[in-house]
Chain A
Amino acid sequence: MDNAALLVEIPRLRRYARALLGNRAAADDLVQDTLERAWARCALWRAGSDLRAWLFSIMHNLRIDQLRRPNLPSHSIDEDDFEVPTRATQSDRLEVRDLESALRQLPDEQREVLLLVALEDLSYAEVAGMLGIPVGTVMSRLARGRERLRRLMEERPPGVNLRVVR
């Protein structure tokens, strides 16, 4: 693997992980695990193939492993958790927070597809390849995720939803 090429992909992995998990520390941990696994398996990467797609698939598989593994629960405690709560005051900020919390309410598989399409501008076929699912499944998860997100946003009475911001 080319170090420079890898370095370029790290911010994208972080962005996606952040959106997927909603927590900076957990997201960076996932990115770190992804990079470690990528290095451990770098002999399996075919030079000239799509590095980004490969890394995203590794991240996806790691996440599946983590969700499936019946292990002892362990939580990382980060500084973030101890920040004094403050309220969002700007309405645009509020809207972003609302969307973010609505995003948390989507099933994992829908959020994953929706974010890959929205953030990475991937084609449906590329998403299908990364996740190892048929294109038809990508389409149905995308449609369901978008609709669910829209309904969640519409259900919110404007202005009432002052959410405590970390």
Chain B
Amino acid sequence: MNKLPMTEDDLQAWVDGALPAVRRGEVEEYLATHPEEAERVRAYRAQKQVLKAMFQPVLDEPLPERLQALATPPVAVDPEKRPFFTRWSLQRIAAGLLVAIVSGAAGWLGHAQYQAADSRQAQRVPLPRQAAVAHVVFSPDVRRPVEVGAAQEDQLVAWLSKRLGTTVRPPKLGALGYELIGGRLLPGNSGPVAQFMYHDASGQRLTLYVTTENASNRDTGFRFAKEGPVNVFYWIDGQFGYALSAGIDKAELARVATAVYDQLERK
């Protein structure tokens, strides 16, 4: 009778009860004549049992509300109605191309204005830089990217509106594939500013920075700024300054910026 040589894999599989009966018998014969090995694999078995016993109670802990809530789809994600590939429709691509052309021009035209704005606000941190820094600081945060999540959007709107002294509402970008994660309050040049964060299905994050500190500034069209790896589209509309930041390419960002602009105009 020829037996296969005993391997470490056999011993591990014995620990996990993963061997067929015949092989298990052979391993047990081997262990009977190799006490040190027997002691070792029994220690592994004990380890496994203690680990199981140790973490078993977690299964019976009541679920925190935030996890319980995620047993149902988060707001605005409807799996039935939004199959993955429809987001990449022809219409979308066409819109992207159009915006890319427009934004290329806008970015070029905006460049000079950006420099002028820079000198006018020598003492102040320019809007795109503020926004880019806020983006870089908060968007990589996996655990606490926002202060108030999208699940409490009403509270978020009420709170930020109260603090900024005017109604601020996150635009809906679901149609572009970006879902609201939530928002937070930040210090601006002279008072509170708001940041809304979005992400797409791949986890790519995008932030919209909203200030109300621009009473003295004239309205502007789209301007584009690049702050390190972050691309920023920004514009000023009355007292409001908006800056959209993300580590995505300019054309894609322009597409989103256009949608944001349109929604804010319509309100």
Contact = CB atoms under 8 A, between A and B. Distances in A.
B67 A32 contact: yes
A42 interface: yes
A28 B67 contact: yes
B92 interface: no
B88 interface: no
The dominant DSSP class at the A interface is helix
Contacts of A143: 8-9, 12
Interface in B50-69: 50-52, 54-56, 58-61, 63-64, 66-68
Given A10-B63, A12-B59, A76-B143, A41 B201 contact: yes
B179 A40 contact: yes
Contacts of B238: none
A88 B181 CA distance: 40
A11 B61 contact: yes
A37 B59 contact: no
Given A10-B67, A143-B8, A119 B52 contact: yes
B50 A18 contact: no
B138 to A, nearest CB: 9
Contacts of B55: 15, 18-19, 119
Contact of B47 (A41, A69, A149): A149
A1 B229 CA distance: 36
Interface in A37-74: 37, 39-44, 62, 65-66, 69, 71-72, 74
A139 B8 contact: yes
A96 B143 contact: no
A28 B83 CA distance: 28
Contacts of B74: 36, 39
Contacts, number: 130
A115 B51 contact: yes
Contact of A29 (B40, B63, B143): B143
A15 B53 CA distance: 11
B52 A118 contact: yes
A110 to B, nearest CB: 13
Nearest to A13: B67
A73 B28 CA distance: 50
18 contacts: A1-B79, A10-B71, A11-B58, A11-B61, A14-B58, A15-B59, A32-B67, A39-B73, A41-B201, A42-B79, A43-B84, A72-B140, A76-B143, A103-B51, A115-B51, A117-B16, A139-B8, A150-B43
Interface of B: 8-9, 12-13, 15-16, 18, 40, 43-44, 47-48, 50-52, 54-56, 58-61, 63-64, 66-68, 70-74, 77, 79, 82-84, 136-137, 140-144, 179, 199-201, 203
